């Protein structure tokens, strides 16, 4: 199988997305009626990158609707596990794709896709497979289970030119620990969409959590 090298334009676009916001909410849409108010609340809280997971059938439609409503915000998909899902995200207007792990098929397609790919890794061996094809930005997942801050510090030794977006088990109180690392560009988490607030339709709480989380990071000079 021929090696497809990641294009410079896709690499630059992924870096642009990671630089747009230090916090990325991991959003799972259970009720389509929540798409617009939830998106509005997160954007009002200062977030500029939204990851809509494909864990429910509503993800693709949510991407299309929020892209139309917030054209100045980066909106893409998470929990993308197959090539068919990747293509569906592009058809829906998704601006990036995040996978929980990686396969050679996804890496090859992501190297020449419309939407840049942030492949998921948990080990150095997985990272090396993507690195060989030109990838220099990865999702670290599941972050807390896979070694957390200590693991990312160790990864930085042999791969100092790689940037990470850790996700999985990270909370508001621990996000700054990750962002303090030189090789962490952004942090993803579900704490930015509290289940109780979503259940009650309390969008002011969602906005406040997003704003407070960003302010906590900025107060530490991260």
Cα separations in angstroms, 112 against 48, 115, 116: 25, 9, 8
Q: Which residue in 168, 200, 217, 166 sits closest to 41, CA to CA? A: 200
**Catalytic one among 105, 139, 153, 215?**
139
To the query of whether residue 129 is one of the catalytic residues in this protein, the response is no
**Catalytic one among 51, 105, 126, 215?**
51
Cβ–Cβ < 8 Å for 189, 167: yes
Beta strand pairing status for 187-189 and 23-27?
parallel
DSSP for 126-157?
HHHHHHHTT--EEEETTTTTTTHHHHHHHHTT
Beta bridge partners of 167: 188
To the query of whether residue 126 is one of the catalytic residues in this protein, the response is no
Cβ–Cβ < 8 Å for 25, 210: yes
Length of the chain: 222
Residues marked as catalytic? 51, 139
């Amino acid at each position: 199988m021929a090696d497809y090298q990641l294009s410079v334009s896709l690499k630059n676009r992924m870096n642009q997305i990671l630089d747009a916001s230090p916090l990325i909410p991991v959003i799972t849409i259970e009720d389509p009626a929540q798409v617009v108010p939830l998106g509005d609340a997160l954007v009002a809280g200062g977030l500029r990158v939204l990851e809509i997971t494909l864990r429910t059938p509503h993800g693709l439609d949510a991407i299309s609707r929020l892209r139309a409503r917030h054209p100045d915000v980066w909106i893409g998909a998470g929990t993308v596990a197959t090539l068919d899902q990747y293509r569906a995200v592009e058809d829906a207007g998704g601006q990036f794709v995040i996978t929980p792990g990686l396969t050679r098929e996804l890496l090859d397609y992501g190297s020449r896709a419309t939407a840049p790919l942030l492949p998921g890794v948990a080990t150095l061996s997985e990272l090396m497979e993507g690195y060989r094809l030109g990838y220099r930005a990865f999702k670290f997942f599941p972050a807390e289970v896979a070694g957390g801050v200590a693991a990312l510090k160790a990864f930085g030794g042999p791969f100092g030119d790689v940037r990470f977006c850790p996700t999985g088990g990270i909370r508001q109180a621990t996000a700054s620990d990750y962002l303090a690392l030189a090789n962490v560009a952004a942090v993803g988490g579900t704490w930015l969409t509290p289940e109780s607030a979503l259940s009650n339709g309390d969008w002011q709480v969602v906005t406040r959590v997003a704003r407070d989380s960003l302010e906590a990071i900025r107060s530490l000079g991260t």
